[in-house]
A and B are shown apart, each in its own frame.
Chain A
Amino acid sequence: MKPMIRIVFTALLVLTMVAVAACSSNNSSSPSTSPSTGASEQPSGGKTDGEKVKLRIMTITTDENRNNIMEQFIKPNIAKEFPNLEVEFEPGGGGEDMANKMKTYNASGDMPDIFWNDAGFFTSLNQAGNIMDLTSYITEDGFLNKYKVPEALKHFDGKIYSLSSGADTYFTPVIFYHKDLFEQAGVQVPQTFDELIEASKKLKDEGIVPVVTPGKDGWGLKLFMLQQMVQTGDPEAMMKLVNNETDFNDPSVIAGVERIERLAKEGVFADGIANIDYGPAMEMFTSKKSAMLWMFTWELPNLAKIDSVDFFPFPSSSDKYDPNKVAQFWGSPLNGYAVSAKTEHPDEAVKVAEFLAMQDALYFESVGSAIALETGNTAANLSPLMEKFLNWYNAADVKIASFALNSVDARMSAELSTQGARLLTGEYPSAEFLKVINQEWEENTWFGN
């Protein structure tokens, strides 16, 4: 019997080993290391003649614009542009969802070849050596020359990590409103913070939700509300905060946070604002359940199609702020299509990133947005609302970079989301918010990188 036991035991062990081996990932073809040389020196990576190069792309899919770009521009054109590529698209979502996905890929080393980069998770990717410096590639092939302001693509370390349409530079938060709903409630466009609250009360008395904005996960608060409430009182203080020259003990910053608490307590926002996502917020406004929408101007081309929609800048909270002279700009050189430093096909991946940025530009151009990437097309007719916006925006002398994109690391960004959503409930004192955020600000590593 003993020989039989040995045979059975050995056979079972072999089977187990085979099963374990089959379940493990195949890492036999390890990707190349971070390329630091020019495009022409890079191998095309593991491709044999006649075999298509496979690339994985994670795109941003936050809103209607992004879906339109994908369905109307990228998907119909990519096969024609790159017949030798086999592309797998992965919808990345946006905001914290996308950041979490990218951080997970970053930690596991399973990076997509091309992905939408964002300042919120860039630091982690850069520290892990997972994001490619595109400077040499796009300089050599001339793509850099297509930008009206090439310098705007550079991170503060002098490298270029992302390619965008340049529309970002023209994205700024404003207050969209329905003119007819304002008329119905007998409300004028507010010029001051107090007038905004009074207008909201009148709208509420008429059964109209005054303001909606995406509040879930602190989206609106983190990306613009905190900044707007501080800079409408004291633009200089906001600029100092963005540049790490002051902190959350600054009286002007404290006053800005207190304004948010007041807005929440006075019932300016839709009920449950802290749990309203991007889509439902847009739906509430476009279906006229809400009179005002606090949103970035990337939605302007879509909203301009609704006759009743107009916009105004955030009203003043003090005489230090002139709404016609100060604006926040979204642009971060880090936002755009980036390439994994560990892709097996760097040449192809960079070309695809350039293609994607160009498709973005073609789309934004087609809907009448301003862009910084030359498409070679003649300028389209702008809608009256877009013309009004460009006149206002171009006249603003003081443009302040977005705090959320240019001043905080991943941890501080996450905590701003957390604390921000809570502040919007109106049940959380601004003093508590400031205490927690100031602590995070002291430990913020952004400016150390």
Chain B
Amino acid sequence: MNKFFSTKMSIAVFATPALLLFTVFCVYPLLPQLWMSLHNHNGFQNLGFVGFDNYWSVMKSSSFWVSHRNTYLIVAISVLIGLPLSMVFALFIDVQTPRLRRFFKSAAMFPAILSVIVVSQIWVAFYEPNWGLFNTILRSIGLDGLTRSWLTNEKTVMISIGLTFLWQYIGLNAILLYTGIKTIPKNYYEAALIDGANAFQVSTRITIPLLQDVMKYVLILSSLGSMAFYAHVRVMTAGGPGDLSRTVIYQMYYTAFDTSQFGKGTAIAVIFILQCLVISFLIQRFVAREKVEF
């Protein structure tokens, strides 16, 4: 029996069902999209082969690049601001008493389990320019000059939506990182304490380095998750004003469904899939390459 489990045949037997399902549900659906992106297609009628015209056409559109700028801004907010904050929050939870820890863990999870619609509507109310929370606070402390229409101003709309996204998922990432922290053996910390290390040194020399596998997972989750950013934009601004808050996914949906140009919509999808693959590859290739074992 042991011999059976070590043969290539046995590997094939166990891998085949998963590979088959992956092929049927993930790889196969991409092929018609690829085909459609090379045609002038309105969603129900193929109006002819156009080669790469759809690709050139979408890349010449200013909305396409606006949507890319917005998407990568969200990725940057999520990774460069969200991840460090999640890490700090995870370390903060770790040093609390058991009762406070339970409270902070629940509080951290709370926004993540709320519906995107609910969260977005709450934040739309916060940003409302006439009586919303933020402008009311600013007015009450005499900073009337800083009040603005957060969701219709070109300079603030994307940051405002990004903060909503950050608020919703920062706690979830913190919980994931905290779970990773709990897997680090206690004797490392005990040794560090005997050597006289303070909390900062323990965090930077032991906790964070030993968390790299979890951080890699959270990084992939955050970056690819924020690249697929759509629902918050849909609810909060419908991509507007104009196209100013569209993300790539939103632009793809708008092109295909709102304007009935499915050929161009799928061209955007294909370009976007390639970007996701490259980012995923870069993370796999350059982040946490050496396996940590304790």
Taking Cβ atoms with an 8 Å cutoff, the residues of A that contact B are 1, 4-5, 8-9, 12-13, 15-16, 19-20, 23, 96, 99-100, 103-104, 106-107, 124, 127-128, 209, 216-218, 270-275, 284, 289, 410-411, 414-415, 417-419, 421-422, 424-425, 427-428
Contact = CB atoms under 8 A, between A and B. Distances in A.
Interface string B124-144: 100011110000000000000
Given A16-B20, A289-B130, A410-B259, A8 B241 contact: no
B3 interface: yes
A418 B243 contact: yes
Nearest to B261: A411
Contact of A272 (B12, B17, B151, B260): B151
A419 B128 contact: no
B42 interface: yes
Interface string B218-248: 0000000000000000001111111110000
Contacts of A425: 149, 152-154, 241-242
B123 to A, nearest CB: 12
Interface of B: 3-4, 9-10, 12-14, 16-17, 20-21, 24-25, 42-45, 124, 128-131, 149-154, 236-244, 253-254, 257-262
Nearest to B259: A411
A274 to B, nearest CB: 4
Contact of A103 (B9, B43, B239): B43
A241 to B, nearest CB: 21
A96 B130 contact: no
Nearest to A127: B45
A217 B240 contact: yes
Contacts of A8: 13
A5 B3 CA distance: 12
- B42, B44, B152, B241 — most chain A CB neighbours (10 Å): B241
Contacts of A23: 25
Contacts of A289: 130-131
Nearest to B128: A272
Nearest to B239: A418
A410 B258 contact: yes
Contacts of A419: 242
B259 A414 contact: yes
A12 B257 contact: no
The 9 tightest CB contacts between A and B, nearest first, are A422-B242, A272-B149, A414-B258, A271-B129, A107-B43, A411-B259, A274-B241, A272-B129, A128-B44
Given A104-B257, A107-B44, A96 B16 contact: no
Given A13-B16, A272-B130, A275-B152, A5 B260 contact: no
A100 B253 CA distance: 9
27 contacts: A1-B4, A9-B13, A12-B16, A12-B17, A13-B16, A99-B258, A100-B257, A103-B258, A106-B43, A107-B44, A107-B257, A124-B42, A124-B260, A217-B240, A218-B240, A271-B130, A271-B149, A274-B149, A275-B149, A414-B254, A417-B258, A418-B239, A421-B238, A421-B242, A422-B241, A422-B244, A424-B241
A12 B13 contact: yes
A403 to B, nearest CB: 18
Contacts of B238: 96, 216-217, 421
A51 to B, nearest CB: 32
A410 B151 contact: no
Contacts of B42: 124, 127
A209 B242 contact: no
A36 B139 CA distance: 65
Contacts of B257: 100, 103-104, 107
Contacts of A427: 153-154
B241 A5 contact: no
A180 B61 CA distance: 49
